[in-house]
Structure 1
């Protein structure tokens, strides 16, 4: 459908436990010092083992599906859609590849943020790995690191039981397969989640540094930057200005990764402030206040859309509902801001609707209301909890395999 071109730089146009502590509340953020005195989260191993087992089963399901269809067994894990762009950037750098759409839009590799391909290149330099193998290794390790971060935050706020349920639910999101393919979601999630953990612990330098790195991983990196900066501003206001220098340093560091890359792309295109957004618009990626989403929903209701697109709509709608429930939980400010910005980008942004659920993968705070409900169900009717979780697991595995190995919709 697209014409692939490899060109030189000069030819590219420049254009949550049994006795849990209460959750931190938006209006009760001063209670956070008590929470912050907790040590390293305990009891994470069963939760992480479950996460690894579920996601490993997801990878095996994809491989089996490929085998049944006569396709290369792991190709769809390492060489699907955006993966090819990241691998090309890792090998050749920026400015060497474009796509030209039938409408004549020039889609340049500058739309892809540099941290993931840079890590791929670094890993292939020191280890005898192909770029695809390196990309998968990074994604799988980062998925585990992110899952531990989810547990750490859940344990910090709600105790062991909810933390375990939170990780378990994150493992079986319908599109969680995309945590284990050569995409940036695992890397971004690991950095953003641990940045949020350090916000809750008031380790502002760590929070800002990790947020800056997350801003080099994905365009949605400004969501974690905004979460860190607003949480720091709220803390400064609460203390009436008597704050450590590290707080201001973290707040300043947080947006630098995202902002730096955006300005670099602008300098390459000759339009410092608008160049990056022009590059993204060629990919039909822009914030249109939900006009594109409304058109998609109308078209889907009138004409249908297979499996992937209705499922995407259900996932996004569920995300909006879960965000409302998260606000009713009165979760910590940083978690609400982070999840809320990601929801806003998904609903208010244009682009292929089949990709939108992927953008919500890092938004694990949305699962907090479900995790607390699942924990309560486990205490009263454990068989019901197992049945519900089993059903969610089956859906996740089958949909993930279909999404990556069968469907032809953009991931």
Structure 2
């Protein structure tokens, strides 16, 4: 049959001749690399090396002033977690001499102190050292998770730079303290990675654990729940989305129920937050008011940095929303930002609360991955210096929780 009479559905035209389509070898779709240990170790090593620089700088300044680095890493909220390891949760909300409610450890979720309690008998140094160890190990797991997400969505270089950027955030020093940010970020990163790969049971279980780590677990619960609902409506993946959606909030709900039972009132946890810790939400009025004060009256450096971080986070969220990433990453980051912005107290902690919002760094990581290597090195180097020096300020000059 002449080429002009060839069935068009069975041929495709090349520059030389008509080739039967059924004989054209199919081009295999590129396979997304699995983030196994061999692939991920450079990203984890980069994260660890950058954080180590911050720790060494802080140690040098602390030694010069005859202060203990362990005390700096185990201060503020880390003291509360160590207290839970040693004495358990309060049986009731303590009352001050004037009759008002005092702060209580019932505001702190149990997974982090629970893991520290497991490590405490093994490591020397007490519960505070155990908490720091858990935080450091979780930081490595988080870096691995960030690499996995970045590699899945872009490429290995993006994943590696994403882990590096997260290490040198302005409040990166917190990632080395006995705080929950690293543990929660690790659980969030691997939960979102599991969602992207439609590993529903893994996503549900990890989300359940995240709900036992921080109140911001609610952001993950919302994302996993909505993803599962969409999958159910579209009749995808059978029974697995049902199970993931059902188990994802169990950790969060279990702790809320525990506090309610401990205090003998269904709203016990919210009673602790509102009346003991004076924390609630006011649609951002306090944030806006405090920021206005910063612009009109002299204030501490830490507060200016918080305002700048929140502003940059909002800008990065807009960029992320237009960057053609899966909606789960944008929604998760938006909820984390909203929880930080709308809180009406502890302005100094708003930037720290944004540490787990790692998807906001994805457009930056992607841009640096496409840039020439010297540019990426210089940017990461500059951010490392700024983060290390600001960590010294947060740990040795600033007198409130970072």
* Counterpart position of 2:15: none
In 2 relative to 1, CA 335–248 (structure 1 residues): closer, same or farther, beyond 3 Å?
A: same
2:201 aligned partner: 205
Matched, 1:81 2:81: no
Contact 1:170 1:176 in 2 (8 A): yes
Aligned to 1:66: 62
Question: What residue number does 1:279 align with?
Answer: 272
SS of aligned partner of 2:243: helix
Contact 2:368 2:375 (8 Å CA) reproduced: no
The equivalent position to 1:326 in structure 2, one of 307, 320, 326, is 320
Correspondence for 2:19: none
1:387, CA displacement in angstroms?
Answer: 2.3
Q: Which one of 292, 303, 308 corresponds to residue 298 of structure 1?
A: 292
C-alpha distance in 1 between matches for 2:379 and 2:55:
22
Deviation string, structure 1 residues 294-318 (Cα, Å, up to 9, x no partner): 1211221221212100001100111
Offset of 1:129 from its aligned partner?
4.8
The answer to whether structure 1 residue 39 and structure 2 residue 16 are counterparts is: no
> Counterpart in 2 of 1:189?
185
Within the candidate set 134, 141, 145, 2:137 is matched to 141
Separation in structure 2 between the aligned mates of residue 351 and residue 99 of structure 1, nearest angstrom:
21
Residue equivalent to 1:27? none
Structure 1 unaligned segments of length 5 or more: list them: 1-33
Q: Deviations over 1:217-241 (max 9, x none)?
A: 111111111111112222233xx22
Contact 2:223 2:332 (C-alpha < 8 Å) held by counterparts? yes
Number of equivalenced pairs: 371
Give how far 1:201 is off. Answer: 1.2
Correspondence for 1:402 among 386, 389, 393: 393
- For residues 400 and 319 of structure 1, the distance between their equivalents in structure 2, rounded to whole angstroms, comes to 19
User: Over the residues paired in the alignment, what is the CA RMSD in angstroms?
Assistant: 2.0
Question: Is 1:150 matched up with 2:156?
Answer: no
Which residue does 1:25 correspond to in 2? Answer: none
5+ long unaligned stretches in structure 2: 1-28
How much has 1:100 moved relative to structure 2?
4.6
Does the CA contact (< 8 Å) of 1:230 and 1:334 recur in 2? no
**Deviation by residue 1:187-218 (Cα, 9 ceiling, x = unmatched):** 11111111111111111111011111111111
Distance 1:112 1:228 in 2: 23
Q: Taking CA–CA contacts closer than 8 Å with sequence separation of 6 or more, which of the two structures ends up with the larger relative contact order?
A: 1
Residue number in structure 1 paired with 2:48: 52
TM-score normalised by the chain length of structure 2? 0.87
Structure 2 equivalent of residue 174 of structure 1: 170
In the alignment, is the contact (CA less than 8 A) between 1:283 and 1:351 conserved in 2? no
Scaled by the length of structure 1, the TM-score of the pair is: 0.86
Corresponding residue number in structure 1 for 2:90: 95
Give a deviation string over 1:360-391, Cα, whole Å, max 9, x none.
Answer: 1111100011111112222xxx3333222221
- Residue 311 of structure 2 is matched in structure 1 by 317
Counterpart of 1:339 in structure 2 is 333
Deviations 1:146-203 (A, max 9, x none): 0000001110110112112211111111111111100011111111111111111111
- When structure 1 is superposed on structure 2, of 82-91 and 300-309 the one drifting more is 300-309
Q: Report the CA distance between 1:126 and its aligned residue.
A: 4.5
Question: Cα 1:99–1:37, aligned 2, differ >3 Å: closer, same or farther?
Answer: farther
* CA-CA distance at 1:144 after TM superposition: 0.2
User: What's the secondary structure of 2:89's corresponding residue?
Assistant: coil
Distance in 2, Cα, partners of 1:101 & 1:149: 47
The reply on whether 1:386 has 2:381 as its aligned counterpart is no
Larger radius of gyration: 2
Could you report, residue by residue, the CA deviation over 1:250-270 in whole angstroms, capped at 9, with x for unpaired residues? 111111111111122122222
Q: Which one of the candidate residues 108, 112, 135 is aligned to 2:104?
A: 108
User: Does the CA contact (< 8 Å) of 1:86 and 1:116 recur in 2?
Assistant: yes
CA pair 291-145 structure 1, distance change in 2 beyond 3 A: same
**Bigger mean CA deviation after superposition, 89-98 or 276-285:** 89-98
Kindly tell me: are residues 61 and 99 of structure 1, through their superposed partners in 2, closer, same or farther at Cα, counting changes over 3 Å? farther
